[in-house]
Amino acid sequence: MEHLYAPWRMEYIGGTPEPGCLFCRAREADAGQDRHNLLVWRGPDAIVMLNKFPYNSGHVMVAPRAHVGSLEDLDDHDALALHQAVARALGVLRTELGPEGFNVGVNLGRVAGAGIPDHVHVHVVPRWNGDTNFMPVLAETKVVNEHLERTWEKLSAAFSGAT
Ligand SMILES: [Zn+2]
């Protein structure tokens, strides 16, 4: 049951990583790449992306514009922007997916489970009663990809409508 204790620990395992920082690359990319990058919202000082290996439906990562490794490295402006983006994500997910709760958490350092330790990011994981079977159900890559596509369409539309 370790995954229940820290559901956001399962990030970016396997596959060939693209060069550079995932969050900086997604933020700077052309909007046409947003679907590929699973980017659902691009604000001036923060972004929201779907996790490619979601613990649960609607699992997003919120990253500040600043490429820094830890929360204490953010200045007040970027810290506020990150918090506001997390709040925005909670609001959109609550409206669109109707979860009964959330896990919100930050992994600092690889030893703590951070897959991208150089760019601090907040995991927001919607939770429902009896949702612990999600990963086994979505174990097949094809199913995960189809699920991510649908979730991306739903959430990117919702985020842009929530401006
Ligand atoms: Zn970065």
Distance 23 CA to ligand 1 centre (A): 5
Q: What is the dihedral of CA 66, 72, 77, 80, to 10 degrees?
A: 100
Would the pTM count as exceeding 0.75?
yes
Distance 1 CA to ligand 1 centre (A): 31
User: Which domains occur in the chain, in start order?
Assistant: 2-161 (3.30.428.10)
pLDDT digit string (tens) for 72-86? Answer: 999 999 999 999 999
Residues with a known catalytic role: 121
Identify the residue whose tokens are 């930050």: 106
Distance 25 CA to ligand 1 centre (A): 7
pLDDT digit string (tens) for 11-67? Answer: 444 455 667 899 999 999 999 999 999 999 999 999 999 998 888 889 999 999 999
- What is the rounded CA–CA span in Å between residue 128 and residue 120? 26
Distance 150 CA to ligand 1 centre (A): 26
